[in-house]
Structure 1
Amino acid sequence: MNTTSLATLLAVLAVVVGVSVVMRPRGSSTLDFYLAGQKVGIVTNAWAICGDYLSAASFLGVAAAVYVSGLDGAWYAVGFAAGFVPVLLFVAAPLRRYGEFSIPDFLGRRLGSERVRLVAVAVVQLVILSYLIPQSVGGGITWQLLVGEGFFGLSPYATGVLLSTAVVAAIVAFGGMRGTTWNQAVQFLLLLVALVWLAAVVIGEGFRYGDAVDALSAEPLANPSRDADGWVLQEEVNRIDGAQPATFGEPGARYGRLGQFALVVTLAMGTAGLPHVMNRYFTSPTGKAARTTTVWVLALAGMFYALAVMLGTAARALIPDAVADHPWLEDLTVEGVLTVPEHALPVLGRIFGGEAGLGVVAAGALVALMSTIAGLLLASAATWGHDVYERHINPRATQRQAVTAGRATTLVAACAAAVLALALRPEAFAPAMPSLVATMVTWAFAIAGCAFTPVFALAIWWRGTTASGATAGMITGAVLAVVMFTTGNSLAPSALKELLVTPTFVAAPIAAAVTVLVSRRTEPPPDVDAAWVRMHGTAADRQAERLARLTVAGRRTERRGGRRAQR
């Protein structure tokens, strides 16, 4: 067991738990538990969104994808970072101005339908579970490398899965959105410090990104592959020109032309449909604050992904030469190449910082996945607690009962994710994909981008969207996404497989078309004009609309009072 690394990790966990205790909600209202009273500042919320969004797929997965596939792996960074551009332009401000608790709450109220709300709840849970599983897998992989030992008769991987998931579930259930927001802000800063430290150390040792890419591209790209006799190093074929071997600095190592485009579209469109990210915009005090927050997020995420791409390249260039001086690398590599790509950054940390360096990077990885798990569990709690329990199971629930129901659902969702993560064996998947964690997260982005983003955009920007149209669009998008990437993962490498496993390019337009066609045959909700003013009107427009509602309500009260007097 690496005592120094484990001590570093425990110190980070102590900070995280301390933040939860200090910043826990003071009341028991659902507004406090789910939305932190809608009083989260711009910079704090930007840090928290980054902590929510920059998951194990970002910290471990992007560097791993670059490590394995070079330029093709960098498309993950492009897609993840680009996702906030449509959020900034089309979603953030209108969503906050409308002001609800969750995506299902927004769609249900905007379209005046409980059926839409319940279908949205089902899709939210599917997205959350798809996103939770790779985070738990990342926890197992990191613990396996950091500690190397299991507790209570469990393997190191299983121990990491269970511990990381259990700790975060307890923190979320205790701290609510207020505690989770500050935790995610602190966790993002810790994550960024780990990444910046590692980049500074690598550059200080003489690493130069451009020179490394040129050197790596001078010979064919090869990665470990497992056969009956164990691990062997196998050259990659260029997917664009099959007659040539793949190289690190040229496209085609993992995806063809269409596959690269489909991957970026899937990741960019999926961001606007991620429940745990979109829920954060409801915590902003105003629509303007939500938009400004997104600008901050774009800048911070861009810096983060640039560092991740650089460090994935550094790992590929530096680890082979380090094997001779670090015998422990022999158990993790085949001819100098890592068998588990997600080990790239932790291994770099240990090479240049010893056990403490490994602890810093591993703590950063665990902080990243814990922060994202926290956001996912809180989004799950909001949909079950507010959209299902309060509105359908127990409409007369007190605020305390509703919060208790939300806390209980965080534990259920965490258990489901941990069980499914334990069923996976990461080493069996690693040779087949650029990064197990990043690839699995792509499936969550696909479901969100196909089922939610088209309906979301239409509900915000098209007056004619109806409840029936939104229901049909969400179901169509979710079913197509699941069927396509499930079918694609069973196929041999080909252009068809690349398109199927990143289905948003095809499925999202179909879902949008279904929404429009069905909406044109059904009636929009009667209060669409009022909803439009709330989302897109000026402050004066919204004030006038509120005064009009109050005037109408007052007249109704007067008429009721008059009728009672006559009786």
Structure 2
Amino acid sequence: MITASVIVLVALLITVVVVGIFIQPRRASTLDFYLAGQRVGVVTNACAICGDYFSAASFLGVAAAVYVSGLDGVWYATGFAAGFIPVLLFVAAPLRRFGEFSIPDFLARRLQSSRVRLTAVTVVQLIILSYLVPQAVGSGITWELLVGSGIAGLSPYATGVLISTTLITALVTLGGMRGTTWTQAVQFLLLLAAFVWLAIAVLGSGFNYPDAVSELSTEPLTNPSLVGGEWQLEAEPNRLNDDQPIYFAEPGGRYGHLGQFALIMTLVMGTAGLPHIMNRYFTSPTGTAARMTTVWVLGMAGLFYALAVLLGTAARSLIQAAAPEEPWLDDLTVDGVLRVPEHALLVLGRLYGGEAGLGFVATGALIAVLSTIAGLLLASAASWGHDVYERHINPRATQGQALWAGRAAVLVVALLSALLALGLRPDTMTALLPSIVATMVTWAFALAGSALTPVFILTIWWRGTTAPGAVAGMITGAIAAITMFATGTVVGGRGIGEMLMTPTILAAPLAALVTIVVSLRTRPPADLDQLWLKLHGTAADRQAERLARLTIDGVSGPQKEQP
């Protein structure tokens, strides 16, 4: 039966790649490769964004965080879902109206500066790499549990990392944004189907969410920890009150007051700075379509994360109860508690669907990984191929040369992320992190929310933003976030350490302040009125402005970026 589920999994993954390849246009241009010709419909784009956004951190990580820390794990679901509110209110429509290829392209054109472009490319690549690694880790964890054996002498974990990275790299390099969009939309529907099936299965078995939470909260929460080379269950002090143990339904399992607020702000702020998500808005045909796409995403995200919280709670309640009757759980648990929290949904799938159920949920997990990796690699390709190669290295590049530059960037970034993921061992980090996948993705959100989002929003909504101000703000935000990460790992995850590990609450205001101060001392672009009209003017305003320019000045060429 396990062989059959693996065959189905591999067949599905290969089908996804083949479909993505054949959907590409016969004569691909850079507009098709990076933005699918800017003709993606509202619902299709919303599903594709969900497929892009609901990564391993969402599919495996949120349920894992709830499983291991109870109420504190819900903060991940809250922050991930709420992140699209600022996007809806402040970013989606003006970003699409301006209509470029990527975040660096948008910032460079809006501020008329190549220095802004290169600074933004550097920040974007750091964000992409920090987001890619946990996706590869999630694929290794899933393969390890599903298959349990490696290929060509590799460990199961390493095999999962390499197979997932190879398959999705093939899809992106050959299919581009058009192929990736349709496969991501289908992948999201499969993710949702896996969640819905699991929810129906556990509720149909008699599981009751309120009763389970009450029952789990009758005793202190304990989790496995390696002590002297042996696994044993240990209780941790409550982060809100050191004299009290942790209970499932109470806050304080992983975060104190400051840590809870810092985590949510990091996730909310970080969403608007994620390159692979923001690039999708350039694929919408209009600004209105981009805004409506976000409305659809908010509704889908609410449903998805509600199910993730439900299933994380169900896993904590049901797996421990089933452990005495399921010998195969002995290798995965300590007294019925999972050693690796990311196994929660996979184990639920096997409990309620046997090996076929495990294969179905594992397919969803790998699809979540592959879908997000695809979006990240496309964002990386746009950043290197369009923003660096076409704009700086070879401005006279043909369409074919530009496409190959983007594809080469995909291969290099994919290889680097796989190598970094292979150096991690999730089971040894469980005691330090509520979910290694969710926590590592949070670091990517923190970097995006600290270095890009403040500058991004100021550039859209403040006329006084200048190129030197944006460069100073991005550099300040990135350095502050990385420095706080490093300090937090030394200080530890208690008190001030919680805030340092999710530093957006400090780094983002600092980046915004530096951007404003430097901008006030420098000059904005000379053609600011035209740029502002392109961002915020109505269709009638833009048409009138175009007619006026044709009458007075004639049709002018694109503005030259300043160094």
TM-score, structure 1 length as denominator? 0.97
What secondary structure is seen at the aligned counterpart in 2 of 1:120?
helix
Q: Which residue of 2 aligns with 1:203?
A: 203
**Amino acid corresponding to residue 406 of structure 1 in structure 2:** G
Partner Cα separation in structure 2 for residue 90 and residue 198 of structure 1: 36
Per-residue Cα deviation, 1:359-416 (whole angstroms, up to 9, x for no partner): 0000000000100000000000001000000011111000111011111110111000
TM alignment of 1:80-159, pairs within 5 A: 80-159=80-159
Partner Cα separation in structure 1 for residue 44 and residue 362 of structure 2: 24
Tell me by how many angstroms 1:492 deviates: 2.9
Q: Which residue of 1 aligns with 2:299?
A: 299
Partner Cα separation in structure 1 for residue 159 and residue 74 of structure 2: 31
Q: Greater shift after overlay, 209-218 or 16-25?
A: 16-25
Q: Which residue of 2 aligns with 1:565?
A: none
Tell me by how many angstroms 1:276 deviates: 0.1
- Find out whether 1:521 has 2:553 as its counterpart: no
**Overall identity of the aligned pairs, in %:** 70
What secondary structure is seen at the aligned counterpart in 2 of 1:432?
coil
Per-residue Cα deviation, 1:414-463 (whole angstroms, up to 9, x for no partner): 00000100111111111111000000000100000000000000000000
Q: Conserved in 1, the CA contact under 8 Å of 2:2 and 2:356?
A: no
Q: Conserved in 1, the CA contact under 8 Å of 2:549 and 2:555?
A: no
Partner Cα separation in structure 2 for residue 275 and residue 548 of structure 1: 35
Tell me by how many angstroms 1:3 deviates: 0.8
What secondary structure is seen at the aligned counterpart in 2 of 1:522?
coil
TM alignment of 1:426-465, pairs within 5 A: 426-465=426-465
Q: Greater shift after overlay, 20-29 or 132-141?
A: 20-29
**Amino acid corresponding to residue 379 of structure 2 in structure 1:** A
Q: Greater shift after overlay, 94-103 or 493-502?
A: 493-502
**Amino acid corresponding to residue 194 of structure 2 in structure 1:** A
CA gap of 1:228–1:556, structure 2 versus 1, over 3 A, is closer
Partner Cα separation in structure 1 for residue 458 and residue 274 of structure 2: 16
Q: Which residue of 1 aligns with 2:59?
A: 59
Q: Conserved in 2, the CA contact under 8 Å of 1:107 and 1:116?
A: yes
Partner Cα separation in structure 2 for residue 525 and residue 448 of structure 1: 25
Partner Cα separation in structure 2 for residue 497 and residue 543 of structure 1: 53
Q: Conserved in 1, the CA contact under 8 Å of 2:14 and 2:167?
A: no
Tell me by how many angstroms 1:23 deviates: 1.1
Partner Cα separation in structure 2 for residue 462 and residue 242 of structure 1: 45
Tell me by how many angstroms 1:485 deviates: 1.2
Q: Which residue of 1 aligns with 2:228?
A: 228
Partner Cα separation in structure 2 for residue 161 and residue 549 of structure 1: 54
Supply the RMSD in Å over aligned alpha carbons. Answer: 1.2
Q: Which residue of 1 aligns with 2:252?
A: 252
- Find out whether 1:33 has 2:33 as its counterpart: yes
Partner Cα separation in structure 2 for residue 6 and residue 222 of structure 1: 33
Partner Cα separation in structure 2 for residue 553 and residue 177 of structure 1: 37
- Find out whether 1:74 has 2:74 as its counterpart: yes
Q: Conserved in 1, the CA contact under 8 Å of 2:17 and 2:168?
A: no
Q: Which residue of 2 aligns with 1:314?
A: 314
Per-residue Cα deviation, 1:138-197 (whole angstroms, up to 9, x for no partner): 011100001000101110111111110111011000100000000100100111101110
Q: Conserved in 2, the CA contact under 8 Å of 1:23 and 1:175?
A: yes
Q: Which residue of 1 aligns with 2:488?
A: 488
Tell me by how many angstroms 1:556 deviates: 7.8
Q: Which residue of 2 aligns with 1:560?
A: none
Partner Cα separation in structure 1 for residue 551 and residue 428 of structure 2: 65
Q: Which residue of 2 aligns with 1:325?
A: 325
What secondary structure is seen at the aligned counterpart in 1 of 2:324?
coil
Partner Cα separation in structure 2 for residue 63 and residue 421 of structure 1: 21
Partner Cα separation in structure 1 for residue 391 and residue 553 of structure 2: 23
Tell me by how many angstroms 1:61 deviates: 0.3
- Find out whether 1:342 has 2:342 as its counterpart: yes
Tell me by how many angstroms 1:7 deviates: 2.0
Partner Cα separation in structure 2 for residue 225 and residue 549 of structure 1: 69
What secondary structure is seen at the aligned counterpart in 2 of 1:465?
coil
Q: Which residue of 1 aligns with 2:505?
A: 505
CA gap of 1:475–1:400, structure 2 versus 1, over 3 A, is same
Q: Which residue of 2 aligns with 1:352?
A: 352
Q: Conserved in 1, the CA contact under 8 Å of 2:17 and 2:170?
A: no
What secondary structure is seen at the aligned counterpart in 2 of 1:518?
helix
- Find out whether 1:470 has 2:470 as its counterpart: yes
**Amino acid corresponding to residue 281 of structure 2 in structure 1:** Y
**Amino acid corresponding to residue 359 of structure 2 in structure 1:** G
Q: Which residue of 2 aligns with 1:563?
A: none
Q: Which residue of 1 aligns with 2:272?
A: 272
Partner Cα separation in structure 2 for residue 23 and residue 63 of structure 1: 34
Tell me by how many angstroms 1:2 deviates: 2.4
Q: Conserved in 2, the CA contact under 8 Å of 1:25 and 1:36?
A: no
Q: Conserved in 2, the CA contact under 8 Å of 1:465 and 1:524?
A: yes
Partner Cα separation in structure 2 for residue 262 and residue 54 of structure 1: 21
Q: Which residue of 1 aligns with 2:18?
A: 18
Name structure 1 gaps, 5 residues minimum.
558-567
Q: Which residue of 2 aligns with 1:243?
A: 243
